[in-house]
Structure 1
Amino acid sequence: MTGRKPGAERLSLNQWTTRRWSVPEAVEGCRRHGIEAIGLWREPVAEHGLSATAELVRDAGLRVSSLCRGGFLTGDSWLRDNRRAVDEAAELGAACLVLVVGGLPGVVPGEPLSGFSRDLADARTRVAEALDALVPYAEERGVRLALEPLHPMYCADRAVLSTLKQALDLASPYPADRVGVVVDTFHIWWDPEALGQIARAGAEGRIASYQVCDQMHPLPADVLLGRAMMGDGVIDFAPLTAAVAAAGYDGDIEVEIFNADVWSADPDEVLATMKQRFADLIVPSLA
């Protein structure tokens, strides 16, 4: 017996939560804190080396709960990079490849507006057309794509998918084991249809990942960094987590936090707090 509460073994560290840790440091941190899964990001994986990362994670006995990220499908040069992302997810044995689908064509995160399109409907059409090309490639390599709807404040530059319903509608032409969705508390907690759409996602077998973090209030000037440790913001995790559990999702649950103060803190202290908050705020609703 490990002495863990039921569900605690499902905790996964999304690598961006401890952003200053390299891949080896994050893997060792998981081992040290008894965390059994990790969500990897492509940039630090590339820095350490894809094959080296796959071997390191495998030797540590960790599950790769996701690889982040592919996507940005609304631009003109997305295909090669996304095929590469699929190949990386396959080699890592990731449970899914998270797709952040992209914003309005020509709008670049963090850059001034110049030469862009305001045609939101066309941007969403581009995403659907891109999936038609990408899904067969992922299927051949045994990789599940996971569409992540983002909070509407990121619609212009990061994701023209803003609700779980939109993501499910976009996924619906494809087998559920090929295209799923990400349920991220930060991005969907505000949506009055969230609980019903989680139930729908469960009925369709489409929940590929459950990610948790809180939303800060007030938000910082850079809203990308508006995530917080569970319990330090405004989100009520109990109904969302209970809905995900009732929907039949029994996979890993990632804590993914973009927050300057969390990033500057001692990563070991972050993991200790993360484990305690997960036990207090997430695990009880999994039963």
Structure 2
Amino acid sequence: MNRLSLNQWTTRRWSVPEAVEGCRKHGIEAIGLWREPVAEYGLAETVRLVRDAGLRVSSLCRGGFFTGGTWLRDNRAAIDEAAELDAACLVLVVGGLPGVVPGEPPGLRTSRDLAAARTHVAEALESLVPYAEERGVRLALEPLHPMYCADRAVLSTLKQALDLAEPYPAERVGVVVDTFHVWWDPEVFDQIARAGDRIASYQVCDQLTPLPADVLLARAMMGDGVIDFAPLSAAVAAAGYTGDIEVEIFNADVWAADPDGVVETMKRRYAELVLPQD
């Protein structure tokens, strides 16, 4: 259980201090932080709070969204924050098609040139890696389920993420293996094996069926959906990953529930369904 990490969005009602206290109270040794609540509480204050609690920061979410006009400035700021927090990685959600805003229909300025959008991601990464290297931050490319291709991530498979990461040292650019986003991929086990020491983060949650009206909230507590976690955890372990295992859930019912109860259920389901077996 010492590898279990609570992603802050799983207990979204908790502020940064409440999430840190929740980890301490429930014996969780790592936390995945989000930039927005960290900014609200204060970066320096968060650094002190996390260090005083003896927690590891398993990830900082998120950088990316390279189609925005201020992407370079925003991502350099995210890298600086990850360095201050001593985060194991900065998660990059690379963004969708230019002009597509999450939750909104396409507009007059929407580009439908998917190939160009993916080329821009590669160019953006090339610009960011030297800056991240100077600050000792590991970038982690996260492929998202194809249903988010237009508005959130033109990287849809682990293979695509690994192809982008390949020109760089593994300690500088890694990938996120998120069960929600990769479980469906017929190549996932081959790509996990290929990833090896490029696995920067292993995130887990289930997928609801049927999908809710807002597919962003289709993530579920482990065991409440359709994902078989054991083979995925075994593959990640066989690839050599020994870092934190982070539970990240976007789900309206989970958010509405008592956070302490959510964490207790999370710990139990993690031990029963996710924890790699010897």
| Correspondences of 1:3-152 after superposition (within 5 Å) | 8-114=1-107, 115-152=109-146
The letter for the 2-side match of 1:171 is: A
1:23, distance to aligned residue in structure 2 (A): 0.1
Question: Which residue of the partner structure matches residue 161 of structure 2?
Answer: 167
Q: Structure 1: any 5+ residue segments left out of the alignment?
A: 1-7
d(CA) in 1 for partners of 2:106 and 2:191? 34
The letter for the 2-side match of 1:230 is: M
Question: Which residue of the partner structure matches residue 234 of structure 1?
Answer: 226
1:124, distance to aligned residue in structure 2 (A): 0.2
d(CA) in 1 for partners of 2:199 and 2:67? 23
The letter for the 2-side match of 1:236 is: D
d(CA) in 1 for partners of 2:270 and 2:24? 17
d(CA) in 2 for partners of 1:76 and 1:178? 25
The letter for the 1-side match of 2:130 is: P
Shift >4 Å, 4+ stretches: none
Question: Which residue of the partner structure matches residue 245 of structure 2?
Answer: 253
1:113, distance to aligned residue in structure 2 (A): 1.4
d(CA) in 2 for partners of 1:117 and 1:96? 30
Tell me if structure 2 keeps the 8 A contact 1:149–1:159. yes
**1:210 pairs with 2:205:** no
Question: Which residue of the partner structure matches residue 194 of structure 2?
Answer: 200
d(CA) in 1 for partners of 2:189 and 2:240? 13
d(CA) in 2 for partners of 1:93 and 1:151? 28
d(CA) in 1 for partners of 2:111 and 2:170? 32
What are the superposed Cα offsets for residues 225-257 of structure 1, whole Å, 9 maximum, x if unpaired? 000000000000011000000000000000000
1:73, distance to aligned residue in structure 2 (A): 1.1
d(CA) in 2 for partners of 1:187 and 1:110? 19
d(CA) in 1 for partners of 2:28 and 2:240? 22
Q: How many residues align?
A: 277
What are the superposed Cα offsets for residues 105-157 of structure 1, whole Å, 9 maximum, x if unpaired? 01010122111000000000000000110000000000000000000000000
Tell me if structure 2 keeps the 8 A contact 1:245–1:286. no
Question: Which residue of the partner structure matches residue 254 of structure 2?
Answer: 262
Question: Which residue of the partner structure matches residue 269 of structure 2?
Answer: 277
1:282, distance to aligned residue in structure 2 (A): 1.2
1:74, distance to aligned residue in structure 2 (A): 2.6
Q: TM-score, normalised by structure 2?
A: 0.99
The letter for the 2-side match of 1:161 is: L
d(CA) in 2 for partners of 1:19 and 1:70? 19
Q: TM-score, normalised by structure 1?
A: 0.96
The letter for the 2-side match of 1:58 is: R
Instruction: Name the SS for the 2:47 alignment partner.
Output: helix
> RMSD of aligned C-alpha atoms?
0.6
| Correspondences of 1:185-196 after superposition (within 5 Å) | 185-196=179-190
Instruction: Name the SS for the 1:9 alignment partner.
Output: coil
Question: Which residue of the partner structure matches residue 3 of structure 1?
Answer: none
d(CA) in 1 for partners of 2:124 and 2:70? 11
